[in-house]
Chains A and B, each alone.
Chain A
Amino acid sequence: MKKIRLLLTCLIALILLTGCWDRSEINDIAFVVATGVDKGEKNKFLYSVQIPLPSSMGGAGSSGGGGGTSGEGPFLVAQGSGGNERQGIEEIQTKLSRRIYLGHRRVHIIGDSLAKEGIKKSLNAIFTQPRSRISTFLLISKGDAVKLLKTQPRMEQYSGEGMREMSKNSINMTAREALQDMNRDGKDMVIPIVNAAGTTKDDKNKKEVQMESFAVFKDDKLAFSSNSNESEGILWLFEKMQKKSASFPVAKDEEFSVQIFENQTEPNLKIVDGKPTFLLTVRAAGVLFENEPNYRIEDPKTYRLIISKMESQIKEQIQAVLKHAHSQGIDVFGFGWYLYKNKHQVWEQNWKNDWRKTLPNLKVTVKVDADIQRTSNIGINEKE
């Protein structure tokens, strides 16, 4: 009996005294969906967060809904500065009534001026913070990151969601992968670049987000941003061309567009005179979507011509990015990583230390095997 009484007391104490401490209602939390870091004054970071406002997101039962009239979206952007990320957040917290919660951060944007000086610190902050998702997408902004957070894409309620969708369709660069790349021998990161843009040419508001180029890193520092040709080359390299279309000229001012459904890139190593050379086999297959010159592609001759044009364009794009990167000693594809995995001992002994110096002279042959497997509509001439 005494035992039971003691046990009961303990049980009641356990229930009444513990628990509920970590309890935090949804109404008391500010869910951060996107964060941005910029270079601030005197070695400080300028930290900014984007927080959607649940009360104006138009859920059932809540008053209001949609804040389109004033031009302000249903979200809040707050900024704070500090020597490290945590300090920045603490400064923001002083301005907010709800607790900042980073568990739902979808994208992390790093300003390009900061990226040029190194992103290791900023990346580290993602990992050290509890409840931070390592599947957060990483982005580099052209100009200040906070500018991107303030954009208001009309398709989404807040730009964080829009940027997440875009990153997913791009090379899918998350914080985890960035960290892996950073710590891998012979592999450098590539992170998509976003910039504010208008939807039309005469749109001066620049409220939308555009993602068209890539930032190529050397270690953790931004080395260069790719041009459009190189961007496509990067997509081919990372096998991310699926569901995107590739256009290539076949005659003067006349182009073919192919929507790609198959994209594989495979490196093959050959060691010549103790030096590695690579054969990069790119396989591409797609559906013909646009046939400007109205060629009959059923004709084997024409088909071969078109395919050769397509292959040479892909080859050229890939080579462009490889050349640019290799000339600066950046291993964008990860040939070094391939050697690390497959010829580990030789890599450790011979190539590892001066890999960046060997890169400009690395011989990479690109072989493209392209295919147009289907056509959509045939041209006007053929419709009789």
Chain B
Amino acid sequence: MRKIKKFLKDDKNSLPSEKTEKEIEADLSINIERLKRLFEDCSDIVFRQIIAGEVEACLLFVDGLIDTSSIQLHGISQMLREVERERVTADFIIERIISVSSVTEITKLDDAVKNILKGNTVLLVDKVSTGIVIDAKGGQRRGVTEPETESVVRGPREGLTESLRVNTALVRQKIRSNRLKTIAKDVGEETKTGIAIMYIDGLVSPNLLEEVQARLDRIKIDGVLESGYIEELIEDNPWSVFPQIQNTERPDTIAANLLEGRVAIIIDGTPLALVMPATFWQFLQASEDYYHRYHISIFLRLLRIIFVFIALTLPSIYVAVTTYHQEMIPTNLLFSIASAREAIPFPAFVEAMIMEISFEALREAGVRLPKIVGQAVSILGALVIGQAAVEAGIVSAPMVIVVSLTGIASFTIPRFNMAISVRLLRFPFIFLAGMFGLFGIVLGLLIILTHLSKLRSFGIPYLSPVSPLSMKGLKDVFIRVPWWSMNQRPNQTVKVDMTREGKGLKPSPGKGSEEGNES
């Protein structure tokens, strides 16, 4: 126990880092020598020295990360050659020579290193004591494709990519407002992963923004390769199985959340962005709920809530009822279960565990395998677990139905991370049911309910707006009211600018001819 605690405790010793506090010298050769020492054995760093007439200069960049065509190497050297030696200053070069849109000046050698590694190009010129950063990032990145984990029938088909810039641009394309702010940060001592905190000024509560930034600033880690790193480092209750931060691949989901006063963190190198604060109900909502007409959205949301309970408790209820509370089963159903179970050698609890574990194994096997082989696995699994096991008398047919229904139920949860929590919690529930019957299940549910009511995500109660109850918030929890009635933003996140839409938006025959004069 103590060892585990020690193991989990974050290491207080900060990571060793070689910082070069040195300024950029006027002498180019000194600078180059220092940089070369820093980039020793980095074969992908290119030191492209240009000697143009009287001027000596050096371009530094990472091979493969820059857009060579936009740097116009040839043009730079040509132009440098034509100017007199004395007129060459940093401002001059920025203003007259380089035609790339984004150019900045740096004075520290450290900044030069940072920029080179970021994929920018640094131009050092002899006799000039500043470096010039040319932002001409290139490199190979995956294009914008359909988000695979959150596909929709109706709705935009574009998903985030691994590139931070593309991702922020995708969100900006949705919200063309100067109130949409993007704060850039670097996380990771070694990886220097770029992240962007996005929010809408005026909608987001300042406390939330402050808290998010403070938690991000606290992170000291060698590398951030995926949003999951950050999620685990900034969530409220690190011991909880329930996700407290939502992740999404969809720019439209991010935009919708920003409009509801939440904060999004986009991380370079992963197509999954984090959205916070998150409530329990958010994980049961899909972006499509807002795109389809509200009738089906209401139906689907209620269906999902029922199926969350089924996914969580159905196998355990089956175990509890068949081993402890036989009087609860309708007589005829009992006899059909009894006749199916007649030849089964295992108790219901063992039967349930066999089936659930093999089902999880099957799912895991399917996820990791190549797509072509994956199909074979599902066919095999369906045959073995479904039919053969029943015919061989190892498991009963009702148990197969229960397990497959549970499986289907867990697929109805739109957010994968919530589905995982429910999947995991199913096993303790089966244990409790096998041990204490329905009392165990009720006990388990009580524990979970207490835990959920205690849980907070960035200060927002996890079960809000149901608990604490807010009638206005219920418009968008179990049901989704039509858009003409969704006149206010959710009050658990937005505190100031509540109004979402104009009055009297409900379409009716009288309003059509006025051409929007009414407001």
Whether A and B are associated in the same complex: the answer reads yes
> Does B334 have its Cβ within 8 Å of any Cβ on chain A?
yes
Residue in A4, A61, A101 whose CB lies within 8 Å of B396: A61
Q: Which of B342, B347, B348 has the most CB of A within 10 A?
A: B342
A59 touching B340 in the complex, CB below 8 Å, given contacts A1-B1, A26-B334, A26-B348 = yes
A165-198 toward B: CB 8 Å interface, digit per residue (1/0)?
0000000000000000000000000000000000
B340 touches A62 (CB 8 A): yes
B327 touches A60 (CB 8 A): no
A104 touches B342 (CB 8 A): no
Nearest-CB distance from B336 to chain A (Å)?
A: 5
> Does A359 have its Cβ within 8 Å of any Cβ on chain B?
no
> Does A384 have its Cβ within 8 Å of any Cβ on chain B?
no
Residue in B331, B337, B343 whose CB lies within 8 Å of A33: B331
Residue in B324, B326, B338 whose CB lies within 8 Å of A59: B338
* CB-defined contacts of B123 to chain A, threshold 8 Å: none
> Does B221 have its Cβ within 8 Å of any Cβ on chain A?
no
Residue in A15, A25, A33, A55 whose CB lies within 8 Å of B339: A55
* CB-defined contacts of B436 to chain A, threshold 8 Å: 18-19
Q: How far is the CA of A106 from the CA of B335 in the complex (A)?
A: 13
Chain B 312-371 residues near chain A, CB threshold 8 A: 322-324, 326-327, 331-332, 334-344, 347-348
> Does A103 have its Cβ within 8 Å of any Cβ on chain B?
yes
> Does A376 have its Cβ within 8 Å of any Cβ on chain B?
no
> Does B435 have its Cβ within 8 Å of any Cβ on chain A?
yes
A104 touches B396 (CB 8 A): no
* CB-defined contacts of A59 to chain B, threshold 8 Å: 335-340, 342, 397
Q: How far is the CA of A26 from the CA of B342 in the complex (A)?
A: 8
B435 touches A103 (CB 8 A): no
A104 touching B334 in the complex, CB below 8 Å, given contacts A61-B340, A131-B327 = yes
A26 touches B337 (CB 8 A): yes
A26 touching B326 in the complex, CB below 8 Å, given contacts A31-B334, A62-B342, A106-B331 = yes
B342 touches A60 (CB 8 A): no
A103 touching B327 in the complex, CB below 8 Å, given contacts A54-B339, A57-B339, A59-B339 = yes
> Does B125 have its Cβ within 8 Å of any Cβ on chain A?
no
Nearest-CB distance from B494 to chain A (Å)?
A: 42
Q: How far is the CA of A99 from the CA of B403 in the complex (A)?
A: 29
A103 touches B396 (CB 8 A): no
* CB-defined contacts of B334 to chain A, threshold 8 Å: 26, 31, 104
* CB-defined contacts of B1 to chain A, threshold 8 Å: 1, 4-5
A54 touches B342 (CB 8 A): yes
Nearest-CB distance from A135 to chain B (Å)?
A: 11
> Does B414 have its Cβ within 8 Å of any Cβ on chain A?
no
A20 touching B435 in the complex, CB below 8 Å, given contacts A61-B397, A104-B327, A106-B331 = yes
Q: How far is the CA of A52 from the CA of B435 in the complex (A)?
A: 28
Nearest-CB distance from B47 to chain A (Å)?
A: 57
* Interface size, B (range): 20 to 34
A24 touching B397 in the complex, CB below 8 Å, given contacts A54-B339, A58-B339, A59-B340 = no
Nearest-CB distance from A2 to chain B (Å)?
A: 11
* CB-defined contacts of B347 to chain A, threshold 8 Å: 23, 25
* CB-defined contacts of B327 to chain A, threshold 8 Å: 103-104, 131, 133
A22 touching B437 in the complex, CB below 8 Å, given contacts A61-B390, A104-B334 = yes
Nearest-CB distance from B6 to chain A (Å)?
A: 12
* CB-defined contacts of B440 to chain A, threshold 8 Å: 19
Q: How far is the CA of A58 from the CA of B339 in the complex (A)?
A: 7
Chain A residue, CB-CB nearest to B436? A19
Q: Which of B323, B326, B334, B335 has the most CB of A within 10 A?
A: B335
Nearest-CB distance from B239 to chain A (Å)?
A: 14
A29 touches B336 (CB 8 A): no
A26 touches B338 (CB 8 A): yes
> Does B148 have its Cβ within 8 Å of any Cβ on chain A?
no
B166-192 toward A: CB 8 Å interface, digit per residue (1/0)?
000000000000000000000000000
A1-38 toward B: CB 8 Å interface, digit per residue (1/0)?
10011000000000100111011111101010100000
> Does B473 have its Cβ within 8 Å of any Cβ on chain A?
no
Q: How far is the CA of A133 from the CA of B328 in the complex (A)?
A: 11
Q: How far is the CA of A20 from the CA of B436 in the complex (A)?
A: 7
Chain B 267-325 residues near chain A, CB threshold 8 A: 322-324
Q: How far is the CA of A5 from the CA of B335 in the complex (A)?
A: 46
> Does A94 have its Cβ within 8 Å of any Cβ on chain B?
no
Q: How far is the CA of A106 from the CA of B334 in the complex (A)?
A: 13
* CB-defined contacts of A43 to chain B, threshold 8 Å: none
B397 touches A104 (CB 8 A): no
> Does B2 have its Cβ within 8 Å of any Cβ on chain A?
yes
A31 touching B338 in the complex, CB below 8 Å, given contacts A23-B323, A61-B343, A104-B327 = yes
A27 touching B344 in the complex, CB below 8 Å, given contacts A15-B435, A33-B331, A61-B391 = yes
B120-154 toward A: CB 8 Å interface, digit per residue (1/0)?
00000000000000000000000000000000000
A49-81 toward B: CB 8 Å interface, digit per residue (1/0)?
000101101111111000000000000000000
Residue in B2, B322, B331, B343 whose CB lies within 8 Å of A62: B343
Q: How far is the CA of A368 from the CA of B391 in the complex (A)?
A: 62
* CB-defined contacts of A5 to chain B, threshold 8 Å: 1
A62 touching B323 in the complex, CB below 8 Å, given contacts A26-B334, A26-B348, A104-B331 = no
Q: How far is the CA of A31 from the CA of B332 in the complex (A)?
A: 11
* CB-defined contacts of B390 to chain A, threshold 8 Å: 60-61
Q: How far is the CA of A161 from the CA of B331 in the complex (A)?
A: 9
Q: How far is the CA of A103 from the CA of B338 in the complex (A)?
A: 15
Chain B residue, CB-CB nearest to A101? B326
Q: How far is the CA of A103 from the CA of B328 in the complex (A)?
A: 9
Chain B residue, CB-CB nearest to A19? B435
Q: How far is the CA of A61 from the CA of B2 in the complex (A)?
A: 51
* CB-defined contacts of A61 to chain B, threshold 8 Å: 340, 342-344, 390-391, 393, 396-397
B323 touches A27 (CB 8 A): no
Q: How far is the CA of A59 from the CA of B401 in the complex (A)?
A: 14
Residue in B323, B326, B340 whose CB lies within 8 Å of A104: B326
Nearest-CB distance from A134 to chain B (Å)?
A: 12
* CB-defined contacts of A26 to chain B, threshold 8 Å: 322-323, 326, 334, 337-338, 341, 348
B326 touches A27 (CB 8 A): no
Nearest-CB distance from A27 to chain B (Å)?
A: 6
Nearest-CB distance from A34 to chain B (Å)?
A: 11
* CB-defined contacts of A15 to chain B, threshold 8 Å: 435
* CB-defined contacts of A106 to chain B, threshold 8 Å: 331
* CB-defined contacts of A60 to chain B, threshold 8 Å: 340, 390, 397
Q: How far is the CA of A27 from the CA of B342 in the complex (A)?
A: 6
* CB-defined contacts of B323 to chain A, threshold 8 Å: 23-26
Q: How far is the CA of A133 from the CA of B338 in the complex (A)?
A: 20
Q: How far is the CA of A24 from the CA of B440 in the complex (A)?
A: 16
B60-95 toward A: CB 8 Å interface, digit per residue (1/0)?
000000000000000000000000000000000000
* CB-defined contacts of B335 to chain A, threshold 8 Å: 31, 52, 54, 57, 59
Q: How far is the CA of A125 from the CA of B338 in the complex (A)?
A: 27
* CB-defined contacts of A57 to chain B, threshold 8 Å: 335-336, 338-339
Nearest-CB distance from A140 to chain B (Å)?
A: 22
Q: How far is the CA of A27 from the CA of B346 in the complex (A)?
A: 10
* CB-defined contacts of B324 to chain A, threshold 8 Å: 22-24
A319-340 toward B: CB 8 Å interface, digit per residue (1/0)?
0000000000000000000000
Chain B residue, CB-CB nearest to A5? B1
Chain B residue, CB-CB nearest to A62? B342
A25 touching B397 in the complex, CB below 8 Å, given contacts A60-B390, A62-B340 = no
Q: Which of A1, A18, A59 has the most CB of B within 10 A?
A: A59
- The chain B residues found within 8 Å of chain A, CB to CB, are 1-2, 322-324, 326-327, 331-332, 334-344, 347-348, 390-391, 393, 396-397, 434-437, 440
Leading 5 A-B pairs by shortest Cβ distance: A59-B339, A103-B327, A54-B338, A19-B435, A54-B339
Interchain residue pairs with CB less than 8 A apart (14): A5-B1, A20-B434, A20-B435, A23-B347, A25-B323, A25-B348, A26-B337, A27-B341, A54-B335, A57-B339, A61-B390, A103-B326, A104-B331, A104-B334
Besides A18-B435, A104-B331, 5 more A-B contacts (Cβ < 8 Å) are A25-B323, A57-B339, A59-B340, A62-B343, A104-B327
